[in-house]
Structure 1
Amino acid sequence: MPTPDRTVPPRRGLNPKVAVGAVFVAALFMTIMDTTIVNVALPSIGRQFATDPAGVGVVNVGYLLALAVFVPLSGWLADRIGTRPVFLGALALFTVASLLCGAADSLTQLTLYRILQGAAGGLLTPVGMTMLFHAFPQQERMRATRILMLPTAVAPALGPVLGGWLVDGWSWHWVFIVNAPVGIAALVFGLLFLPDFRTGHAGRFDAAGFLLSATGFGLAMYALSEGAGQGWGSARILLPAVLGVLALVALVVVELRRPEPLLDLRLFGDRLFRSVNLLSLSSGAAFLGMLYLFPLLMQDALGMDALHSGLMVFPEAIGVMIASQLSGLLYPRVGPRRILIAGCTVVAGCLALMATITPESNLWAVRGLLFVTGFAMSHVFMPSQTAAFATVPARSTGAASTLYNAQRQLGAALGVAVLGTVLTALGTVSTNAAGTPVANLAAYRTAFLVAAALALVAAAISFSVRDSDAAATMRPAPGGPSEPAPEAPGRAPASL
């Protein structure tokens, strides 16, 4: 018989909102930055281990596969064991794995330790988001979403900058070791102050769901991450892609028939949750695809090194952080629908304008364009993350967080795969009239237009979002900031 939802405070008292926010921001910053900082170090890693660029890519592939396998498991573990032990265990594993990566003396060792990092990262983000939404009641969800803006905005842009500086000034080992101080500090703080949220609704372990999700998501992530480089018609890509799709189809059939599934796909029957997830998938593919594409353009067409191309992207992070304050003020008054429509449309326009960048472009104008892109994208990030869980019962927060983070990972991989395929198909190098190899700007132009089209798809989906569905996240609590707003009839309480 399931136990009632409850919160177990730590021995040392601290506001759960402060404790959860501090630890989650630190962990999320570390994991998000890790996905971009390592890309800068791959050439140096390849040189040390005498491996070509294609071979050294296994370092990232192993991480992504482990991430895809463990994200679906996170919700069940948090419900079964509690959010605190799962989160702190994953944080400790990620920190130790980072140190092991920094000490690796072979490509095989480095790949194995990256798999451990990916396993920990697959648990950290969804469980951390579950804690955050348990700590903050419905009417304070926008405040919770603001907390996520620092790591979400700054980490992807800071990764290439910090990675370039560490690799050039020290060695590639430091792009992993740099995680240790952040991880240790967050772990100690969490052990002292982090509360534990227990739902008691885990049920029996769904072994079939886990095997099918691990196979489906793992093979799909592999195909998406490697397809552009190896060719979509290659047997090494085509076979995993087909098997992954079949496993995911089987996963849907099996999970919809189980009374206690590992992945509660019935949550997609909720109109608002479904719409926001589709919107996030498409907009995330556009935005994260751009973050992959833009540095390549700066280095290929403008001849910048990794450090300076990373600095060119940084105004995007500034735009996100500034807009997060404005978006938080607009959301309760305007609602998510119009903000999402405007944000996705402006992002699409900015990505289309990036297709016009040439070596003769004014770099300050380009930086301004990146700033506006980040400013507009903040009006997608914040409303979507806030509204996504508005109609999800409290006992299903862990399951909803698992699904939300799974689509975010797939969206990121999808964006890179689609835009990478465009570049590969058209070729990044052409020859001028004198027969000299030059950057093929037409390939980049097409890729940016494809990214703009993905953002327009997100804008179209935004029209299906109804402000009335997200009403619980728009109104202040009737008795003050600490008193929960009344729930819709028949729904579980919004917070524990």
Structure 2
Amino acid sequence: MAAIRVPRPADQRTVVAVVFVATMFLAIMDATIVNVALPSIATDLGTGTDSIDTVVTSYLVSLAVVIPASGWLADRFGARRVFLAALTVFTVASALCATAGDVGQLVGWRILQGVGGGLLTPVGTTMLYRVYPPQQRARAARVMMIPTAVAPALGPVLGGLLTDGLSWHWVFLVNVPLGLATLLYGLVFLADVPATAARGFDLVGFLLAAGGLAGILYAVSTGPSHGWGSPAVLLTGAAGLVATAAMIYWETRVPHPVLALEIMKNRIFRMSNLVMTFGVMAFMALLYLVPLLAQAIEGASSTRAGLLVFPEAVGVMIGSQVAGSLYPRIGPRRLLAGGLAAAAVTIGLFAAVTISASPWTLRTLMFLAGFAMSFVFLSTQTAAFATITPMRTGDASALFNAQRQLASAFGVALVATVLALPDAGSAAAGAFARRWVFLVPATLALVGAVLALFIRDADASATMRSVAQRVPTSPGTGPDGPVPAKLPRREREAT
């Protein structure tokens, strides 16, 4: 009897897009879906609120720890193999989290879950950019926008519905069916990519990078709640900074570093990451503030508070279509500067209307903030990899995702610290802090807009059809990749 063959789709772009969206959705949403279930978990497992915070922190830290090794693993063992293995680990760990009988077990399984999730994001990004040529990177960025925009906003809503309607166990079990379906789809349709790395593993660099990321993330995640002067925060933060400094010293002196920091010499990659850092800080701070203050001030339920945030995802989805059509003609600089400036104004309006305003006023502002930020996300994700060769995509993706993870944590920690200032003890000062804290992410977005003006559209010409089709390039011109030999007058004035 002849074996049954399942045909592979001819276009791997479709296959990679499907597995990328599904897995990134799971990994990103899992960082927010658990938050609303923490009180129920603490009650059921018989622990206090101080201990239950480690359920979130352990996932975020383990997520970041494995990112430095993602590029080497993808090159050494093949992106497909590493990606599917990481998805298996994440799915199995999600099921194990639901079986935890005490906080220690739950934290242990969350660490394992973070290991899988931490590899999914950079390895998935590597696969995506390898199947999309530079001229189609804006289309690839649209694919990346789906989980990036929807998952953080949907997490609190879905978490509230599952916890209130079923039990906290389902915030973990919900990952299992989608994880298994994506795993089977990937096993059947995802094309194998042969391993390319013959270099040895930089163990010292990995330990320093992982320790640095873990220490810094733990400190900024627990600092607002435990106090920045607490011994645990001070020790882990200092250790993280020392390890990061040692990592930079080591990685710039070894022939095959686990984190290829020399990629930062690439001007468009460096500037896109810098702008992205301020944009992500502002965005995550806003997503943190609105549901938190809605619950604290208005007494809103977790589900209702999450629904106030969800219009942001709709704004990102719609805005990404507009930004995707404009990017090839306009380039990243003006889209980034305009998007961040518009986001700064929109976020600043939250301070004027207060969180007690009409729900539809808040939802409208969230939609507009998401619409503006879509220009930022699409442009940075497209331009950052404009001159990165396929062989260096894994290394660049590890750096890009590590920086984005740190930016997310710093954005939330900054506004949480402002809300926890001692002066907020009085009613007047507390109301003032809650109202004007929105100026913090608004200022971050404004700083990002100013930095965006220093981006050169010519550096991203490979991702712009209108420029790339007309500008002759001289390849191999150093770390910034192809350099346009001569730009038309309009592009010269724009850059």
TM interval, shorter chain, is: over 0.9
> 2:475 aligns to what?
489
> 2:73 aligns to what?
77
In structure 1, C-alpha distance between the alignment counterparts of 2:81 and 2:42, rounded to whole Å: 37
Q: Which moved more, 1:276-285 or 1:370-379?
A: 276-285
Q: Would the aligned equivalents of 1:134 and 1:197 in 2 still touch at CA under 8 Å?
A: no
2:441 counterpart of 1:451 = yes
Is the alpha carbon distance of 1:487 and 1:190 closer, same or farther for their aligned partners in structure 2, counting shifts above 3 Å?
farther
In structure 2, C-alpha distance between the alignment counterparts of 1:468 and 1:79, rounded to whole Å: 30
Shift of 1:457: 1.4
In structure 2, C-alpha distance between the alignment counterparts of 1:24 and 1:440, rounded to whole Å: 42
Which of 237, 248, 256 pairs up with 1:241?
A: 237
In structure 1, C-alpha distance between the alignment counterparts of 2:298 and 2:174, rounded to whole Å: 30
What SS does structure 1 have at the residue aligned with 2:193?
Answer: strand
Q: Would the aligned equivalents of 2:290 and 2:355 in 1 still touch at CA under 8 Å?
A: no
2:175 counterpart of 1:185 = no
> 2:332 aligns to what?
336
In structure 1, C-alpha distance between the alignment counterparts of 2:472 and 2:79, rounded to whole Å: 25
Is the alpha carbon distance of 1:291 and 1:488 closer, same or farther for their aligned partners in structure 2, counting shifts above 3 Å?
farther
Shift of 1:356: 2.2
Shift of 1:363: 2.1
Shift of 1:239: 1.1
> 2:148 aligns to what?
152
Letter in 1 for 2:475: P
Q: Would the aligned equivalents of 1:295 and 1:310 in 2 still touch at CA under 8 Å?
A: yes
Q: Which moved more, 1:402-411 or 1:46-55?
A: 46-55
Q: Deviations over 1:43-99 (max 9, x none)?
A: 111111222212100111111111111011100000100000000000010000000
In structure 1, C-alpha distance between the alignment counterparts of 2:85 and 2:245, rounded to whole Å: 32
Q: Would the aligned equivalents of 1:14 and 1:193 in 2 still touch at CA under 8 Å?
A: no
Letter in 1 for 2:264: F
Is the alpha carbon distance of 1:460 and 1:125 closer, same or farther for their aligned partners in structure 2, counting shifts above 3 Å?
same
5+ residue gaps, structure 1: 1-9, 433-438, 480-484
Shift of 1:357: 3.3
Which of 453, 457, 464 pairs up with 1:467?
A: 457
What SS does structure 2 have at the residue aligned with 1:356?
Answer: helix
Q: Which has the higher contact order (CA 8 A, sep 6+)?
A: 1
Shift of 1:431: 3.7
Q: Name the Cα RMSD after superposition.
A: 2.0
Letter in 2 for 1:196: D
> 2:18 aligns to what?
22
What SS does structure 2 have at the residue aligned with 1:93?
Answer: helix
Q: Would the aligned equivalents of 2:293 and 2:355 in 1 still touch at CA under 8 Å?
A: no
What SS does structure 2 have at the residue aligned with 1:115?
Answer: helix
Is the alpha carbon distance of 1:461 and 1:167 closer, same or farther for their aligned partners in structure 2, counting shifts above 3 Å?
same
Shift of 1:445: 2.5
Letter in 2 for 1:452: A
Shift of 1:13: 4.4
In structure 2, C-alpha distance between the alignment counterparts of 1:63 and 1:128, rounded to whole Å: 19
Letter in 1 for 2:284: L
Q: Would the aligned equivalents of 2:333 and 2:452 in 1 still touch at CA under 8 Å?
A: yes
Letter in 2 for 1:281: T
2:402 counterpart of 1:416 = no
Mapping 1:150-229, distance limit 5 Å:
150-198=146-194, 200-201=196-197, 203-229=199-225
Shift of 1:464: 1.4
What SS does structure 2 have at the residue aligned with 1:374?
Answer: helix
In structure 1, C-alpha distance between the alignment counterparts of 2:382 and 2:100, rounded to whole Å: 40
Q: Deviations over 1:231-260 (max 9, x none)?
A: 111111111111110110010010001111
Q: Would the aligned equivalents of 1:132 and 1:144 in 2 still touch at CA under 8 Å?
A: yes
Mapping 1:246-395, distance limit 5 Å:
246-358=242-354, 360-395=356-391
Shift of 1:426: 4.6
Which of 112, 120, 127 pairs up with 2:123?
A: 127
5+ residue gaps, structure 2: 1-5, 483-495
> 2:490 aligns to what?
none
Q: Would the aligned equivalents of 2:31 and 2:60 in 1 still touch at CA under 8 Å?
A: no
Is the alpha carbon distance of 1:414 and 1:387 closer, same or farther for their aligned partners in structure 2, counting shifts above 3 Å?
same
Is the alpha carbon distance of 1:488 and 1:182 closer, same or farther for their aligned partners in structure 2, counting shifts above 3 Å?
farther
Letter in 1 for 2:60: L
TM-score, scaled to structure 1 = 0.92
Q: Would the aligned equivalents of 1:99 and 1:177 in 2 still touch at CA under 8 Å?
A: yes
What SS does structure 2 have at the residue aligned with 1:470?
Answer: helix
Shift of 1:154: 1.0
Q: Would the aligned equivalents of 1:138 and 1:472 in 2 still touch at CA under 8 Å?
A: yes
